[in-house]
Structure 1
Amino acid sequence: MIEPIILFFVLGIIAGLVRAELRLPGPIYDFVSMLLLLAIGLKGGIELAKQPFLTLLPQILVVFVMGLILPLIGFPILRKFGRFKRADAASIAAHYGSVSVGTYAVAAAFMETQNIYFEEHMPLLLVVLEVPAILVGIVLAKGLSKETQWSSVAHEVFAGKGVVLLLGGLFIGWIAGSDGLDSIKPLFFDLFKGILALFLLEMGLIAASKISSLHKYGLFLIVFGIGMALLSAVIGTGLGLLLNLSIGGTAMLAILAASASYIAVPAAMRISVPEANPTLSLTASLGITFPFNVLIGIPVYYELAVRAHAIFGA
């Protein structure tokens, strides 16, 4: 049985391809995005309150390093085989070192539907993964230049809507705990899948609009968008085993690694690498990788985690 929220995404893609007069109004889309980010943060904060921070430090450090390595893998591939300009290759690589909150939300819904346990502090790792790829992308594009507006980049990264809402939700959930959030659970927890369905409907419309941008680099972007996701998922799976995560936790780390940013990184690249073509990055991340992960990738990555634990697990 196909998950209904996935069908909303398919509806959005079809409506976008046939150019139907369908679009979420801007304020509604912003509201839906805010609810999703806060809900993910709140759930993570509740779990975070149950364990000492120091026990999570190894995972935080490993995920941070993963965020540094992934764009370093993608960049030479884009330069040598895709023949992209340096700025464009660095920007695309940075997108693939960061993370997609939308993909995480779909994965969390998938795990819940299948009754699969995973470590619920994953939102904290999601926030950690937002940052390092942006820094690497800027350095790959420009080197350690004095002209780089690091203060503006830092403000865009840490004061951006996604990071503020995720960290804010984590903090509120951590302070209030499960019992303290009872009064707002109907909005943020009970309606989570309905909100996610609306979000995916809009994402389907946007993805369809990006697919039409596949011109000069179309075939390569398709191969790279899928291939990089699969390779990153394998890396995430290996690190999940290294960190002794559960099968669900390993799958979630693989999903985080396989996803590509379409919110935080575009904003940061716009400031720091304005010469990069944002259409290329968004076409790859939102037009190719996001649909692949939502429609095919998530169950594949879970099966990868299951098999990896069966072969290499203790």
Structure 2
Amino acid sequence: MIDPVILFFLLGAAAGLLRSELRLPAAVYELVTIVLLLSIGLKGGIELARQPFGALVPQMLAVVVMGFALALLAFPVLRYIGRLKRADAASIAAHYGSVSVGTYAVAVAYLGSREVAFEEHMPLLLVLLEVPAILVGIVLARGFSRGTRWGSVAHEVFGGKGIVLLMGGLFIGWIAGPDGLSSIEPLFFDLFKGILALFLLEMGLITAAQIGGLRRHGLFLVAFGIAMPLFSGLIGAGLGTVLGLSLGGTAMLATLAASASYIAVPAAMRMSVPDANPTLSLAASLGVTFPFNVLLGIPIYYSIATWIHG
């Protein structure tokens, strides 16, 4: 049976394609996003409080290296096979080396419905994956140019809403612990799937709006938007196994590797690589990869993790 949250995404996508007047008010979507990001961060912070931080350092370093590698691997495919402009290839590569919070949230719901446990410090790894690909994308597009305002880029990345809320949630959950958060548990934990359903409804509408951006490079971007997540998912699953993660943790790391950013990276690329066409990046990440991962990818990555774990 299809998870209800997926049906909300399909409803939004169908409404968008039918040009319905359905829209979430901007303030409601903003609130839903804030609650979702804080919920993910708080859950990760609780787990951080239960284990020594030093034990996570090898995993953190490995994930950062993976973020660099995925962007570097995507760039030549986009540049020389897709024949995209250098700026566009670098921007899209940065999107695919980074991570999607929405995809992560769906994966949490997917594993939760199957009662599959995973390492709760995954939000920390999610935050770490936001940064390396952005740096790679800027360097690939512009080189180490003196005109690059690295201070502004750092502020855009680390001061962005996603990073601040995720890191803030991690910090609050780490300090307060499970007992300290019991009073706010109904909002941030019990209502998680309901909040996710509303988020995916709006994401379906946004996805439908990005379909038009596939016209010129449509065939290549569709192929890339499906093949790259599958390839990245294999890398993530392999790394999860090497790091000794559980079945659920391996599936989550595969999902993180396979997802493509649509929040932090677009903002950073808009500032640092203005020559890149944001329509192409969002058409690939939101128009192809996000729905693919939500509908088919996450079960595939879970199957890969299951196979690897025997």
The reply to whether TM is greater than 0.5 is: yes
Report the alpha carbon displacement of residue 213 of structure 1 after superposing the two structures with TM: 1.8
How many Å separate the matches in 1 of 2:79 and 2:131?
A: 23
What does the per-residue CA deviation read over 1:97-124, in whole Å, with 9 as the maximum and x for residues that have no partner? 0000000000001111100010000000
What's the counterpart of residue 208 of structure 1?
A: 208
Asked whether 1:43 is paired with 2:50, we answer no
How many Å separate the matches in 2 of 1:269 and 1:80?
A: 21
What's the counterpart of residue 198 of structure 1?
A: 198
How many Å separate the matches in 2 of 1:222 and 1:215?
A: 10
What does the per-residue CA deviation read over 1:216-264, in whole Å, with 9 as the maximum and x for residues that have no partner? 1000000000000000000001100110000110000000000000000
The within-5 A match list for 1:45-84 is 45-84=45-84
TM-score (norm 2): 1.00
Structure 2 runs not aligned, ≥5 long: none
What's the counterpart of residue 263 of structure 2?
A: 263
**Runs of at least 4 residues off by over 4 Å:** none
What's the counterpart of residue 93 of structure 1?
A: 93
Structure 1 runs not aligned, ≥5 long: none
Report the alpha carbon displacement of residue 212 of structure 1 after superposing the two structures with TM: 2.0
How many Å separate the matches in 2 of 1:83 and 1:118?
A: 40
What's the counterpart of residue 23 of structure 1?
A: 23
What's the counterpart of residue 279 of structure 2?
A: 279
Q: Match for 1:287: what amino acid?
A: G
How many Å separate the matches in 1 of 2:292 and 2:87?
A: 25
How many Å separate the matches in 1 of 2:91 and 2:120?
A: 30
What's the counterpart of residue 290 of structure 1?
A: 290
SS at match of 2:309: helix
Asked whether 1:152 is paired with 2:152, we answer yes
**Contact residue 214 and residue 284 of structure 2 kept, 8 A:** no
How many Å separate the matches in 2 of 1:158 and 1:213?
A: 29
How many Å separate the matches in 2 of 1:106 and 1:211?
A: 21
What's the counterpart of residue 248 of structure 2?
A: 248
Report the alpha carbon displacement of residue 60 of structure 1 after superposing the two structures with TM: 0.1
Number of equivalent positions: 310
Q: Match for 2:235: what amino acid?
A: I
What's the counterpart of residue 235 of structure 2?
A: 235
Report the alpha carbon displacement of residue 214 of structure 1 after superposing the two structures with TM: 1.4
Q: Match for 2:243: what amino acid?
A: L
Report the alpha carbon displacement of residue 308 of structure 1 after superposing the two structures with TM: 1.0
SS at match of 1:2: coil
Q: Match for 1:176: what amino acid?
A: A
How many Å separate the matches in 2 of 1:61 and 1:126?
A: 12
Asked whether 1:111 is paired with 2:111, we answer yes
Asked whether 1:174 is paired with 2:174, we answer yes
How many Å separate the matches in 2 of 1:117 and 1:52?
A: 20
SS at match of 1:212: helix
